[in-house]
Each structure stands twice: as C-alpha cells, then as structure tokens.
Amino acid sequence: MIKPQFFYNLLLDEGTDFFTGVPDSLLKNFCAYVTDTAAKDSHTIAANEGCAVALASGHYFATGNIPLVYMQNSGLGNTVNPLLSLADKAVYSVPMLLVIGWRGEPGVHDEPQHIKQGKVTCSILDAMQIPYCVLEAEESNVALQVKKAYEYIKKESAPYALVIRKGTFDSYTLQSNEAVPARMSREEAIEKIILNAPDNAAFVSTTGMASRELYELREKHGQNHSRDFLTVGSMGHASQIALGIALSKSDKTVFCIDGDGAAIMHLGALTTVGTQKPKNMIHIVLNNGAHDSVGGQPTAGRKIDLCAAACACGYAHTVRVHTAEELQSAVKNAQSFSAPVFIEVYVSKGSRPDLGRPKSSPIENKKAFMEFLGE
C-alpha cells in the first residue's frame, strides 16, 4: 500500500500546491492527510466535483501551478461540463491532476449504486479523451506513474487522471477532526421523525448512512419498508426526487431526509422546491457538519445558515432544532403548513458500528415504493 505522506510528497515535488475535491471512501486516508497537512488556503473541500474543477482552474489561472482534484468516480458526472468546456485543450487548456476513487471496479464486490459507474469509469475518461492510469499499490512503481502523469500534464497543459483501486492507500487517521456539538445522533433524529409522521407519509432518504439507518429503524419498529425510497446513490438529488413525488401525489405528505453535505452539493435545488411550493413536502436536513460515510471530512454545513437559505428560496417555514423534543414538535407543526417546510436538525457525527445495509435490492425497493404511492 501507498503511504499518504509518500504520495503527497511526490505531488509537492512536481509543483502541486493546491488540493480540492469531494471526499471519497477509497481516498479517505489521503484526503485526511491533506486536511491535516496542507495550509488552509491550499486545500478546499468543494460543494461538488464540478465546483472543484472550476476552483482548481482558478488556482492555475492565478499562479500557473498544477492543482489536484480528488473525487469518487460517482462524481465524474459533475465534472463533465467543466472538464470539457473549461479545462479541455480545445478551450482554456488547464493542466490538472485528477485523483479518482474507483468504486464498483469490475470483479470487486461493492454496493449496487456503484456497479454501473465502476464498469464505465475508464470508458468515461476515454470518451472525454483524458489519459489515465490505474495507480499501483507499490510505492516503488508509483513514483514512475506520477512522473509520467506530470510529464503529460506539463507538455499538453491538460488534465490527466489517476484511478485509485480499493486498498491502495495505507491507513491514516484524521488528526484535525473538528468537534461537532450535538445532542442527538442522526439515527435518534430519524427515529423521532418516523414515529411522528403520518402513517401514509412517503419518505425519500439521501445516500449514505441515513438510508441505512432508516431501513434498520423500520425493522426495529416492525414497520413496512414500502413507504421509503432509499436514494443509495445520486448524492444531492434526494430533494428533487421528493419534490417530483410531492407534486404528483398531493394526497400524501412527503418527507425528504437529507444530509448537509448532500444538500450543499446541489444547493440550487432549494430554489426549485421554494418556487414550486408543494403543499405537502417537508424537507429535513440532518446536519453533522461532515461527509460522514467517507471519512468524516468537514462540510460547510455548520458554517452557513441553511435555514436562511431555504427561507430566501421560498420555503414557507424554516426551523433549526437541537433536541428530540424540539424535533418532535417541529415535525408535528410542519404538517399544518400548506407549503414546503424546511427543518434543520443538528446531529452528531458517526454511526453505530453494527449498522447493517438494506436487504432489498434497489429494484425491489422501487417496485414496493411505487405500489405504496399507487394505493
């Protein structure tokens, strides 16, 4: 395996002094090392991967230095526009190194949402005409691969990608792990929400731990899973799935259980909810200030006012809660509004170590959920 410090120093030796991206579970040890080591103005965790490409481009325009953009391969879709219409040699010709975690690599067991992305990751890079190599796990070979990558980047003034397999980076524990004060765990908050929701309410939960916890809480309370749509991929899009349902099923209250990192990733989605004004949608953001499922890297969630943003975007009522009692009251009050409601819940980082995964497949989940909506 590659020590994150070894890889980081190779990058510095090639002149890279700016790092940005969205954390990934396969890159979490490297990302943690960057977070602990790079100066504050040399590392920015971006709202989404497309923003990271633009940030990196701005750094290059200002300094002439080669930036690095890291991401999970699921984020490649967010980068297609800026990579092709900004960084491409035919446009502004921006040199940058892309470091991409290869979730769903063929032949390696992974979750369903990563399987197709894993199959087409290299094909997407080929289609964008971005050269790449799969980084080897032996440090003796990595230096040569990195050197080759930078030779191309410097000669062509264009992006080059390093694709990272599972287990490539050696372990590293984040030292600058910011404390996030909270009086509830995410799972406790979800439990309070579902126990105070109408029996016929539909739920759309965001990717990551929230969907897993929602599934297990239904098991715990002997409740039917059919009322829940578990958005196991598509980070940042849960609110729009919920909006589409709410606009089409006015007889059902629709809850969106979102995360701060996911909501921030596509924050513009708030404007669509606010202007469409569904009378039956309750948007709940569980804010722990972290990308919890990929290493606990910080988000901007606790540094901005999400309630003020939702209010400005047209939500009828917004509220921030800290306790189980406040949350229970907020969920019950939200059901009396005939316009979209936004509830921000401060929760702690982390999840219990024995947290399971849904036993049903995404297709089975979809079919059961559609049957529930059709009742």
CATH at 350: 3.40.50.970
Distance CA 288, CA 283 (A): 16
- Does a structural domain hold residue 174? no
Same domain, yes or no, for 154 and 269? no
First to last CA, the chain: 53
231 and 95 in a common domain: no
Query: Hey, which residues does 2 pair with through a beta bridge?
Result: 169
Last residue of a domain, one of 164, 199, 227: 164
Would you say residue 175 lies in a domain?
no
Axis crossing angle, helix 4-13 with helix 139-156, rounded to the nearest 10: 30
Is 216 a domain residue?
yes
Say what the pLDDT of residue 347 is.
97
Q: Verify that 370 and 227 share a domain, yes or no.
A: yes
Q: What is the DSSP letter of 169?
A: B
Q: Is residue 169 part of a domain?
A: no
Structural domain includes residue 359 = yes
Say what the pTM is. 0.94
pLDDT of residue 174: 87
Range of the domain at 262: 186-374
Note whether 361 and 217 are same-domain residues.
yes
In a domain, 71, yes or no: yes
What is residue 296's predicted lDDT score, i.e. its pLDDT? 82
Residues 292 and 153 in one domain: no
Q: Are residues 141 and 193 in the same domain?
A: no
For the chain, what is the domain count?
Answer: 2
Shared domain check, 139 and 27: yes
> Are 230 and 323 contained in the same domain?
yes
Task: Identify whether residues 206 and 269 lie together within a single domain.
Answer: yes
Same-domain check for residues 89 and 139: yes
Walking along the chain (375 residues) 10 residues at a time, the average pLDDT comes out as: 97 98 95 95 97 98 98 97 98 98 96 93 98 95 97 98 97 85 96 96 95 96 96 95 97 97 97 97 97 86 97 97 98 94 96 90 96 94
Is 334 part of any domain?
Answer: yes
Clarify whether residues 215 and 302 are in a common domain: yes
Count Cα atoms within 13 angstroms, Cβ side, for 24.
29
Same domain, 91 and 230: no
